[in-house]
Amino acid sequence: MSQQSELLRRLRRLPGERRDALLAQLEDVSAGARSAPLSYRQEQLWLFDRFAPSSLAYGLGFALPIEGRLDTEALGAALADLLQRHTVLRSTFSDEDTRGTQRLKPVPRIRLETEDVPAERLHPRADEVVQGELRRGFDLNSGPMVRFRLLRSAPDLHLLVLTSHSIVLDPRSARVLQGDLAHAYRARAAGAAPAWAQDPVEFGTYAAWQRAWCEQDAAREATTYWRDALAGWESTELPTDLPRPRLIDLSSDVVRRPLPPGLAAAADDLATGSGAERRDVLLAAFLVVIARHTSRGDLTIGLPQDVAGPYDESRLVGDIGNLLPLRVELDEADSFAAVVARVRDARRDGLHHASLPFKLILDALGVEPDAGRLPLVQIGFTTPVAGGGPAEADGVRFGCEQIDAGSGAFELALEVTDGEQPTVAVRFATSLYRRATATRVLDRFLQTLDALCRQPRRPLGDAPLGTPQEHADVRERWNEPIGAPADTPLHDLFAEVVAAAPDNTALLWKGGSLSYGELDAWSWRIARRLTAAGVGLGDLVPVVMQRGPALLAAVLGVLRAGGAYVPVDAGQPDERLAMILEDTGARTVVVSPGTADRVPGPLALVVGADPLDGPQAEEEPPAVVVPAASAAYVIYTSGSTGRPKGVVVEHRNAANFTRTVRDMFDLTPEDRVLHFASPGFDVSVFEIFGTLLSGAVLYVLDEDQRRSVDALDAVLQEQRITVIDLPPAIMDLLAPENYPDLRVAFVGGEAFTGELTTRWARGRSFWNGYGPTETTVTVVAKRCEGEWTASPPIGRAMANHRAYVVDGAGASLLPAGAVGELAIAGLGVARGYLGQPALTADRFRPDPDGPPGSRRYLTGDLAVWDEAGDLCFVGRADRQVKVRGVRIELGEVEAALQAVDGVAQAVAEVATDPRTGALLVAYVVPERPGELQLDTIRSAVARRLPAAMVPSVLVPLDAVPLTPSGKIDRRRLPAVEFAVVDELSEADEENSTPTERTMREEVFTPLLGARIGNHVNFFAAGGTSLQAIQLSSRVNAVFGVALPIADFFATPTVAGLAGLVDAARSGQEARRDALAEALDLVEGSSDEELAELAASLDGEGTR
């Protein structure tokens, strides 16, 4: 006999009355209970509770001050009358079907706890009670949903504290309860039952009406309206101060300000002239602030709206709130008056279609639930219910005030209260934002409202954002003055080092070395050959050579001949090489013997590996004077049109950069620097000239060493390398503790994790660097120290540079907290794009904050200043993707994947499934071949990221393809085959565990209509969020295991859920033992002891 059967047998053996009493308490059912449908709002709250059962997001608290001599017994009876009259207050919510069921329970006994509190502590204590009750939480399945506590300060001064879950109450309802309580108390104090003038509106009746309305033509019309209004929507959210938690946490704080009377009057005047309301003007100003903080002009914001339908609100208790997702587009050239009119019209149109529940709007748009964020709208605009006057009852006055429960309905919202002293406030989720951010947003809202109400025809982009001090921080505190430009060309600076120490080692490589004097002589010989070939001042000379010391000598030779070198990786395709030769108009190309056949014979100047090759020293050197403003090199970068563009960098740009990094890293002749970068990647400028102009040693990796992690590791150790600049993808494969001589690690080019930062920062100087080719290698940097949980900021502008965050027009500087385009000014700003004057003029603009003639480069990267004055890289617009309406920065997904044990590298991309649309795909490389558990990886990522950011498809790779410069080559990632998701392989069929077979055949297949593989993602196979709820119910029915709904999104595969079921069953064994002990206790208890136990259990009901 199984343990479960034995427990059932023992339960049946109990005397009938005792068995029934026990089951009533354990199962919390009653013969008098009735069921009712859920409203759509309740359904949404119930679903949210399944995702985050411990969340405080939807708790409410109210204080009802009671003045006058109070009869506490009459008050308790009156509270019972309220529960009798408004049945929703005694509801519980079960998952008997996929939409939830509302069960109406009998009126419980009211045990009104009374606590004596000093008068001055009355309201603070009420706040504490509410917070304590909300932390305790509400069990929607067993209740109660409403709790009472009476605080007594004096016989004639009490405070009744009411806490509740929003699924049964809203602030509007509290005013209804206030009046009904006074009416019931009057009767009970007189020894009678209350006589009600009108019957209440049962909330179940309201819910039934709502569901019936949603089947009518009006609902279909509203659905079409919202689907059209929100087509192509994108979520609107401010950059967060803190990492987004896996499970949403809307615990909140609030910053409040009075709305100045003059400003309120100005808003009213503008509203009157626009045929609008004050709320339209305030909302329009708030949208302007959000637009300028997010660098976006297509915004969707949430507006709560009560919808009572055909019923009298004064007799209806329950949450009748709906959420209108208001979408407004605005541009910096728009006038504020135009935006006010746009908001007015959008709000009125939305109100006309407000009866369609928000849940059905989400369904119409195909928005999937996400345990980590609110669906569709994260930012709100609210107008909280104002408090009413007291209700009288035979000398006793009942007031009603809402207590701040410390939770909000949005991640960030503007709250506007009317009345004699109107206020505005920003409520913010403390899990995402700091108080300083909310304060800044509120202050800028008031500033924007004032400026735009004064000049409503003014373009939005002309309105100030931030205080003069905040702009002074950007200009003066977070940026340093620009000094004098370097006036010596690179090769002359090299000559100074040679003259000082000609015998010092300049280059090392596998099997050889070269002194500074030898490298100098070799470069002169190449320069003479180039001069003889006709190369002169300003000529562009492509260098198409294999890695090695000859390439470096050739670079110096081109500079000494007066030319500018154009590095081309030897492995570049013929088509791209031909394009570069054509674009540069090259008449001479320096090649290695092994690359000579890549260029037309007449152009080739072959440089061999022998330093003595070429004219000897007795020949006259070329008499070329090279100004510092001459071009030093041209590096080609990818272009949006698919055709690379050449960036022309001058000697003074590169000389300033090398001077700066030499000082930053304290480079000396004692240093050994690794030469890893491809010459066509501008990090090579740092490696070559940063080293040689400091008199240090440059170790030149050959191609085999560069492509082998083991060989690279050996070089770093054996050659005692002291300075490196490597891509994060490479550094993640190395063990920093193996390199005790390494004192400087410089990294950049792409985002990387906090974990990588922490590992590499121990025991050395670790720098995060940022810089496009157009601004000479690196222009923004931050030294990172200590422990990091997230990717570090990129820092501040390096010496002789200035960094700005600018608006969409590229003209106005933005203060801290506002996302904009990163612009760079200073001595590193390159000349421009070769042969592309229009593109140069577009991206290289005059710098209004610099001296006459200075320019700044618009990078196309998004950034934001943080509170400490560091720049944080937000991402390029083209690396921001949209999946199921959520904007995703792929770098964040990659960072989470790479933080999983066993994952060496990861790349995230978006692929399109012809059946389900855009899906997030991750390519992962294991640390050890063959040891990659995809379900384990997905589960780990699901613990770090919101569901929308968890990849639907994981593709294992042996290695991530890299470009010649060491960056990830995304175009070479394998295509995803979606057709296989409907197929069950023989291997899965044969190797499935019994639980996996049952899971597939009895749970997944009936829902999907297809037999899928053990590791196929439920959503990738076409599953929906509603089916995920059905999945939960089926698992419970088939296996007798109730898994949290979040597990179905974290591990949505046959194998993953089967593993969770097996683990849960193991836990059930322990719980059965506990139940057996409970039965022992019950069987051995006397009737009096059992009655006492039942009473104590009943006391956990409504109090």
**Which residues fall within 8 angstroms of residue 587, CB to CB, at 6 or more apart?**
533, 534, 535, 539, 603
Q: How far is CA 373 from CA 83, 368, 376, 798, in A?
A: 34, 11, 9, 37
Give the confidence band of 13 by pLDDT, cuts at 50, 70, 90.
Answer: low
**Which residues fall within 8 angstroms of residue 718, CB to CB, at 6 or more apart?**
none
Of the chain, the percentage scoring pLDDT greater than 90 comes to: 58
What is the pLDDT, as a whole number, of residue 808? 80
621: left (phi over 0), alpha (psi -120 to 50) or beta: beta
What is the pLDDT, as a whole number, of residue 36? 81
Please check the confidence at residue 241 and state whether its pLDDT lies above 60.
yes
What is the pLDDT, as a whole number, of residue 529? 95
Please check the confidence at residue 8 and state whether its pLDDT lies above 60.
no
Report which of 625, 692, 621 is spatially closest to residue 655, judged by C-alpha positions. Answer: 692
Q: What is the DSSP letter of 87?
A: G
Greater pLDDT, 1006 or 265: 265
Greater pLDDT, 387 or 1002: 1002
**Which residues fall within 8 angstroms of residue 376, CB to CB, at 6 or more apart?**
230, 233, 235, 300, 302, 325, 358, 361, 362, 365, 367, 885
Helix, strand, coil proportions of the chain in percent (round to 5)?
Answer: 40, 20, 40
Specify the range with the lowest mean pLDDT, choosing from 742-746, 839-843, 870-874, 1027-1031.
Answer: 1027-1031
Per-chain mean pLDDT for the chain: 86
Q: What is the DSSP letter of 603?
A: G
What is the pLDDT, as a whole number, of residue 1050? 67
Greater pLDDT, 538 or 1076: 538
Report which of 1018, 1013, 1084, 1016 is spatially closest to residue 1049, judged by C-alpha positions. Answer: 1018
Domains and CATH numbers, the chain: 33-206 (3.30.559.10), 227-395+404-461 (3.30.559.30), 884-973 (3.30.300.30), 982-1079 (1.10.1200.10)
Query: What's at 1023, amino acid-wise?
Result: G
Q: Are strands 321-329 and 298-306 parallel, antiparallel or unpaired?
A: antiparallel
Three-state DSSP at 1076 gives helix
Query: In the block, which residue shows the tokens 């947003």?
Result: 441
What is the pLDDT, as a whole number, of residue 876? 74
Structural contact between residues 926 and 932, judged by C-beta atoms closer than 8 angstroms = yes
pLDDT in tens, 72-113: 999 999 999 999 999 999 999 987 666 678 888 888 888 888
- For helices 358-365 and 217-229, the axis angle rounded to 10 degrees is 60
What is the pLDDT, as a whole number, of residue 1018? 78
Give the confidence band of 642 by pLDDT, cuts at 50, 70, 90.
Answer: very low
Burial of 896 (0-12, 13-18, 19+ CB in 10 A): buried
Find the angle CA(811)-CA(816)-CA(822) to the nearest 5 degrees. Answer: 45
Return the number of other C-beta atoms located less than 10 Å from residue 275's C-beta: 11
Of the chain, the percentage scoring pLDDT greater than 70 comes to: 85
What is the pLDDT, as a whole number, of residue 361? 95
Return the number of other C-beta atoms located less than 10 Å from residue 243's C-beta: 14
Query: What's at 744, amino acid-wise?
Result: V
- Among 623-627, 915-919, 1076-1080, name the most confident range: 623-627
Q: Tell me the C-alpha distance between 742 and 752, whole Å.
A: 20
Query: What's at 1079, amino acid-wise?
Result: L
pLDDT in tens, 50-69: 766 666 678 899 999 999 99
**Which residues pair with residue 416 across a beta bridge?**
424
Instruction: Give the CA count within 13 Å in the CB-facing half-sphere of 318.
Output: 29
Give the confidence band of 930 by pLDDT, cuts at 50, 70, 90.
Answer: confident
Q: What are phi and psi of 731, to 5 degrees?
A: -60, -30
Give the confidence band of 639 by pLDDT, cuts at 50, 70, 90.
Answer: low
Structural contact between residues 443 and 468, judged by C-beta atoms closer than 8 angstroms = no
Give the confidence band of 946 by pLDDT, cuts at 50, 70, 90.
Answer: low
Q: Tell me the C-alpha distance between 68 and 974, whole Å.
A: 77
Please check the confidence at residue 621 and state whether its pLDDT lies above 80.
no
SS3 labels along 621-673: CCCCCCCCCCEEEEEEECCCCCCCEEEEEEHHHHHHHHHHHHHHHCCCCCCEE
Return the structure tokens found at 1075.
């139940």
Give the confidence band of 623 by pLDDT, cuts at 50, 70, 90.
Answer: low
- For helices 1025-1039 and 1054-1083, the axis angle rounded to 10 degrees is 50
Report which of 89, 188, 864 is spatially closest to residue 466, judged by C-alpha positions. Answer: 864
What is the pLDDT, as a whole number, of residue 521? 95
Return the structure tokens found at 926.
């294991």
Q: What is the DSSP letter of 1099?
A: T
Q: How far is CA 156 from CA 396, 484, 957, in A?
A: 9, 79, 75
pLDDT in tens, 245-268: 877 888 899 999 999 999 999 999
Taken in order 951, 953, 957, 963, the sign of the CA dihedral is negative
pLDDT in tens, 110-122: 888 899 999 999 9
Q: Tell me the C-alpha distance between 851 and 516, whole Å.
A: 39
Three-state DSSP at 999 gives helix
Query: What's at 716, amino acid-wise?
Result: L
Report which of 291, 290, 264, 289 is spatially closest to residue 279, judged by C-alpha positions. Answer: 264
**Which residues fall within 8 angstroms of residue 825, CB to CB, at 6 or more apart?**
482, 801, 802, 803, 804, 847, 849, 850, 854, 855, 856, 857
Q: Tell me the C-alpha distance between 610 and 553, whole Å.
A: 11
Q: Tell me the C-alpha distance between 751 and 794, whole Å.
A: 9
**Torsion angle of the four alpha carbons 1047, 1051, 1056, 1057, in this order, in degrees rounded to the nearest 10:** 30
What is the pLDDT, as a whole number, of residue 26? 42
pLDDT in tens, 575-592: 789 989 999 999 999 999
Q: How far is CA 649 from CA 632, 653, 861, in A?
A: 6, 6, 20
What is the pLDDT, as a whole number, of residue 983? 54
Please check the confidence at residue 20 and state whether its pLDDT lies above 50.
no
Please check the confidence at residue 656 and state whether its pLDDT lies above 50.
yes
Q: Tell me the C-alpha distance between 805 and 823, whole Å.
A: 6
Q: How many helices (H) and strands (E) in the chain?
A: 35, 42
Return the number of other C-beta atoms located less than 10 Å from residue 534's C-beta: 10
Structural contact between residues 681 and 726, judged by C-beta atoms closer than 8 angstroms = no
Greater pLDDT, 978 or 17: 978
Structural contact between residues 877 and 296, judged by C-beta atoms closer than 8 angstroms = no
Specify the range with the lowest mean pLDDT, choosing from 394-408, 443-457, 1054-1068.
Answer: 1054-1068
Query: What's at 458, amino acid-wise?
Result: R
Q: If you average pLDDT over residues 125-138, what whole number do you get? A: 92
- Among 535-544, 948-957, 963-972, name the most confident range: 535-544
Return the structure tokens found at 380.
């709100």
